């Protein structure tokens, strides 16, 4: 009888571990995304959120580190950077900012790990190295940081 209970207990632990591993593994592969797919989804999200009929948003470059991205954007004379996070297959805008998003500590203050913040800002520096000084000035011109709520839409009365 004791050996049956021991077997049940061992089997229960194995079953629990198997279910947990299956959930983790399926979550990891359920939403695979290449960087190209991620960039396309990010561009679509930013366009859907911020495009105006008379003024479309241009999004380039986009740098990605794991489930975090920074997208440079311009719209007419305005510009800035969007900080994004991936949840499953979808990307969401966490915040919009300007020059501050080149600083790892600003990215970390938005809830991103310091390691990821350092890696993504290094990628951003590399991606922006070929941009003109005028384009960098336009991207840096976004004043402050605007935290985005889930599902928040950009209104036509916004300053940015």
Contact residues for 59 (Cβ-Cβ < 8 A; gap 6+): 42, 43, 46, 47, 71, 72, 73, 82
Tell me the pLDDT band of 136, cut-offs 50, 70 and 90.
very high
The more confidently predicted of residues 52 and 149 is: 52
> What pLDDT is attached to residue 36?
94
Residue-wise pLDDT for 27-81, tens only, equals 444 567 899 999 999 999 999 999 999 999 999 999 999 999 999 999 999 999 9
Residue-wise pLDDT for 81-130, tens only, equals 999 999 998 999 999 999 999 999 999 999 999 999 999 999 999 999 99
- pTM (2 d.p.): 0.75
> What pLDDT is attached to residue 32?
74
CA distance 43 to 136: 19
Tell me the pLDDT band of 158, cut-offs 50, 70 and 90.
very low
Contact residues for 152 (Cβ-Cβ < 8 A; gap 6+): 49, 93
Query: What tokens were used for 50?
Result: 């911020």
CA distance 45 to 20: 32
Q: What are the backbone dihedrals phi and psi of residue 141, each rounded to the nearest 5 degrees, phi first?
A: -70, -15
The more confidently predicted of residues 18 and 89 is: 89
CA distance 144 to 100: 8
DSSP 49: H
Tell me the pLDDT band of 18, cut-offs 50, 70 and 90.
very low
Per the CB < 8 A criterion, the answer to whether 144 and 97 are in contact is yes
């Amino acid at each position: 009888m004791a050996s049956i209970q021991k077997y049940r207990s061992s089997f229960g632990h194995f079953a629990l571990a198997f279910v947990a591993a299956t959930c983790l593994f399926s979550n990891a592969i359920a939403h695979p995304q290449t960087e190209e797919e991620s960039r396309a989804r990010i561009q679509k999200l930013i366009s859907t959120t911020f495009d105006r009929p008379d003024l479309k948003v241009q999004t380039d470059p986009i740098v990605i580190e794991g489930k975090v991205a920074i997208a440079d954007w311009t719209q007419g004379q305005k510009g800035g950077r969007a900080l994004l996070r991936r949840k499953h297959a979808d990307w969401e805008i966490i915040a919009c900012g300007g020059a501050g998003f080149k600083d790892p500590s600003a990215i970390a203050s938005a809830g991103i790990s310091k390691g990821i913040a350092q890696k993504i800002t290094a990628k951003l520096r590399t991606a922006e190295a070929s941009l003109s000084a005028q384009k960098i000035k336009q991207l840096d011109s976004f004043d402050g940081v605007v935290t985005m709520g889930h599902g928040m839409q950009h209104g036509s009365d916004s300053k940015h």
